[in-house]
Amino acid sequence: MNLRKTILATGVAFSALATASFAHAEPTAEVLHWWTSGGEAKAVAALKEDFEAHGGKWVDSPVAGGGGDAAMTVLRSRVLSGDAPAAVQLKGPAIQDWAEQGALADLNDVAEAEGWDKVIPPAIQSVMKYEGDYVAVPVNIHRVDWIWANPELLAKVGATEAPKTWDEFNALADKLKAAGITPVAHGGQPWQYATVFETVVLGLGGPEFYQQALVDLDEDALKSDTMKAVFDQMRKIRGYVDADFPGRDWNLATAMVMNGDAAMQIMGDWAKGEFLAAGKVPGKDFICSATPSEHGYLFNVDSFAMFNVSGDDKVEGQKLLAELIVGEKFQETFNLLKGSIPARLGVALDKFDDCAKKSEADLLAAQDAGGFLPSMAHGMALRGHLSGAIVDVVTAHFNSDMSSDEAVERLVEAVELAKD
Ligand code: BGC
C-alpha cells in the first residue's frame, strides 16, 4: 500500500515536473559581441554571470576585432543563412537598418513591464526604437573624445596635465618626440583613424561644424578650409606615432601608454576598462582628459538588438537578457568594468571613478551647449555605407602623403557617391 502510494506520488511529481519544464523553457541566448580585450571580456563576463544567475543559458559568440567591423560581417552572413543569433551587439542607425528589414524582435512587453520609457533617456530611446517599438536595449554611454596619458612620461618634458588645445597638443607632442618618447600610441585600423579624426573635427571645427560635416554631410562643410585644417592636423598626428602602428589593435596601443612606451592615446573610454583591468589607478597611473573642444562630447551607446528567432527557450532568453541589461544593478556592475557610464537614468555614480564622473558632468554641460553629438566612427551618426565612405578617405590620407586639398576633394566625392 505504502509502496503504491509512493509510486503514485512519484508519478504525480514526475508529470508535474514534465509539465513545468514544457511551460518554462530554459531561457537561452546566443550572444554575438566583439568584447574580447581584457577590460571588455571582464565586462561581458559580468553580463553572462547575471544572466546565468537568473537561470539563463548563455551561448557565447565573440568575434574579435575592435570597433565591431568583423562582428558585423559575421552577423550579415548568419542572417543570410537563416541562422541569426538571438542577441547581437549593435548600434545606432544599424539598428534601424536591421529593423527595416524585418529582422528584429520587438521587446515592448518587457519595456512596458519594466517602465523603460521612464528610465531610458529620450535621446537614447529613439535609437532603441523602430516605428515606436523597442527593438534594442542600451548597455552604456561611452565617450569617444578622450586622451589617455601616462603622467610619468608627461613629467619627463615638464607637463603636469594633458593638452587643452590642439596647439598645446602639438607643442607637447613635439617636446616628447624630441625627448625620444613616442607621443601618440595608435593602432592602424580604419576605425581607429576615424576615432582620432572625429575628435579633431570636433575640436578644430566646433560642435556645429561636426554636426554639419559628419552628421548632416553638408557639402560646404566637407570641402571647407576647416576640413583642410583637420587633415593638416591628422598629418601632424601621423608624425607622432611609432613605425609599428599598422594593424595594431587598440588595446595594444593602450598597453603602450600603460607600460611607458608612448605618452598618449586618443581613444574612447573602453580604454579605461583596459587600465582598470590591469589594476591601474586613474589620476595616479594614468590621466583621463577630454580631447580639446568647446564643450563637445561624442557619444557611443552600446546596445543589444534581439533578432527574430524561434523556440520558446530563445524568446524567453531574449526577454530575460533585455530585462537584466536595463536593470539598475547590471548597469552599475557592467559600466564599472567597461569604462563607460550607465545608460539608465538615476543610477548613482558613487562607486565610479573621477573619469566617469567627469564623463557625466561633461555630458550634461555638452547637452546644454549643443555639443552632445553622435560618434561617426562608432556607428552612431550615419549608416554604414556613408561612414564607410568617410573612413576610407581618412585611412587613405593617413597612410600616404596625400595633401589636405586632395583629401577634402576625395571626401566630397566619396560622400556624394555613397549618398546616391
Ligand atoms: C564599442 C566598445 C568597444 C570598442 C572597441 C566600440 O565601438 O562601442 O564597446 O569596447 O568599440 O572594441
pLDDT tens digits, residue range 204-258?
999 999 999 999 999 999 999 999 999 999 999 999 999 999 999 999 999 999 9
Distance 194 CA to ligand 1 centre (A): 13
Q: Tell me, what amino acid is at 13? A: A
Q: What is the CA radius of gyration of the chain?
A: 24
pLDDT at residue 226, rounded to an integer: 98
Cβ(352) to ligand 1 under 6 A? Answer: no
Which is nearest to 227 in space by CA: 415, 420, 418, 417?
415
Pocket test for ligand 1, best of 275, 375, 376, 378 (most atoms within 8 A of CB): 378
pLDDT at residue 420, rounded to an integer: 86
The DSSP secondary structure of 59-112, one letter per residue, reads: EEEE---GGGHHHHHHHHHHHHTT---SEEE--HHHHHHHHHTT-B---HHHHH
Distance 65 CA to ligand 1 centre (A): 9
Mean pLDDT over the full length of the chain: 94
pLDDT at residue 25, rounded to an integer: 86
Residue having the nearest C-alpha atom to atom 6 of ligand 1:
67
Cβ(300) to ligand 1 under 6 A? Answer: yes
Distance 38 CA to ligand 1 centre (A): 12
Q: Does pLDDT of 38 surpass 80?
A: yes
Cβ(67) to ligand 1 under 6 A? Answer: yes
Cβ(166) to ligand 1 under 6 A? Answer: no
